[in-house]
Amino acid sequence: MRSGNHSLLPSSRRATQKLRLLVSPTAASCSIKASTAAKMKALISICIGITIFLIAARAASALAALAFHRLHHRPTASFFPASPSIPRKAYTVLINTWKRNDLLQKSVIHYSKCAGVNSIHIVWSEPNRPSDLLYEVLREAVHSNSIRGNNIELIFDLNQEDSLNNRFKEVKDLKSDAIFSIDDDVIFPCKSVDFAFSVWKSAPETMVGFVPRMHWLDNSNSSLDRYFYGGWWSVWWTGTYSMVLSKAAFFHKKYLHLYSTNMFQSIRNYATKNRNCEDIAMAFLIANETGAPPIWVKGRIFEMGSSGISSLGNHEERRTQCLNDFTAIYGRMPLVASNVKAIDSRSSWLW
């Protein structure tokens, strides 16, 4: 009998078989854990390897681009005549303000720290002149924040008339070709502004800015070419734009002269009367001169105020009316749509 034979086994052999039965499941479990740990280590090693490869590839690409630039970059003829001084090495900050001295002070202090700035002009349209105290506070801030020994000029451009056209009034004797037009309640990091300046230098005939908008053809009325104003969400959804607003944009100083002397008087009157759309007027002017779209630059915006024109009711309806009225005056739609977006790849992995 088998049972009898099993019972006749020596006690030491039976103990060994029992021990094997007890040990076998534990050994299997340990084997599984060891296998899982090995797989995890392999996966982690692969992830680390891919990360190192991506970093090395990015570094190699950057070095190759730098080498190519040094080997092949040569000065090229400009669309615009060069100024006698430092026309493309620096830019002028043109700040539009209205009875918000606290915001103006923050804006001046911030932009005086940017490396590319050589002068700050404040468009002053208030009935009273700026106080001596305000001027001294701003002058001291500019002086203390100027870097690399750069002596930044601070100038108030005083205007007798309260008009939105004042922000585009020609400024005489500017040392730089580039104008960075900015509202007093908007802050962009200096790194973003300097990058936008570098983009503008590659295309100085067009407008380069941070706040895109779009004109859309109104298909509800097929008998007439009518347009409606597309705000930020329409740009975000479609990736298409035809304007960058002058609340944060670079353009050539030449356009201040053209706006002051060649802009349709009816459009200038429109902006003064309605206190709106001077930025659309400038977008029309530049597009009409160049036949080219603006360039949208990615940048993080910090808005310090909310009492501007855009906060008023029926804002987009009023802007739509501007588009169609200006198109009628020009006799055509000069704005050109684009899907191009400039991104500083040095500080962004997703581009």
Predicted confidence band of residue 93 (pLDDT cuts 50, 70, 90): very high
Structural domains in the chain plus CATH codes: 91-345 (3.90.550.10)
Residue 149 is predicted with a pLDDT of 64
Does the structure show a pLDDT above 60 at 3? Answer: no
Residue 78 is predicted with a pLDDT of 35
Residue 19 is predicted with a pLDDT of 40
Does the structure show a pLDDT above 50 at 89? Answer: yes
Q: pLDDT of 8-22, one tens digit each?
A: 444 544 544 544 444
Give the residue among 125, 121, 123, 122 at the shortest CA–CA distance from 163.
125
Does the structure show a pLDDT above 80 at 299? Answer: yes
Residue 39 is predicted with a pLDDT of 66
Residues in Cβ contact with 322 at an 8 Å cutoff, skipping those fewer than 6 apart:
229, 270, 274, 276, 277, 280
Determine the Cα–Cα distance for residues 303 and 189; give it in Å rounded to an integer. 12
* Average pLDDT of the residues in 63-79: 37
Q: Residues 162, 279, 325, 344: which is the catalytic one? A: 279
Residues in Cβ contact with 217 at an 8 Å cutoff, skipping those fewer than 6 apart:
225, 226, 227
Determine the Cα–Cα distance for residues 108 and 114; give it in Å rounded to an integer. 10
Q: pLDDT of 163-215, one tens digit each?
A: 999 999 999 889 899 999 999 999 999 999 999 999 999 999 999 999 999 99
Predicted confidence band of residue 27 (pLDDT cuts 50, 70, 90): very low
Q: Is 279 a catalytic residue?
A: yes
Cα separations (Å) of 265 from 165, 169, 290?
11, 14, 21
Residue 56 is predicted with a pLDDT of 55
Count of other CB atoms within 10 angstroms of residue 139:
13
Sheet order of strands, 227-230 included: 227-230, 212-217, 243-244
* Average pLDDT of the residues in 22-32: 48
Residue 146 is predicted with a pLDDT of 72
Predicted confidence band of residue 224 (pLDDT cuts 50, 70, 90): confident
Please give the share of the chain, as a percent, with pLDDT higher than 70.
Answer: 72
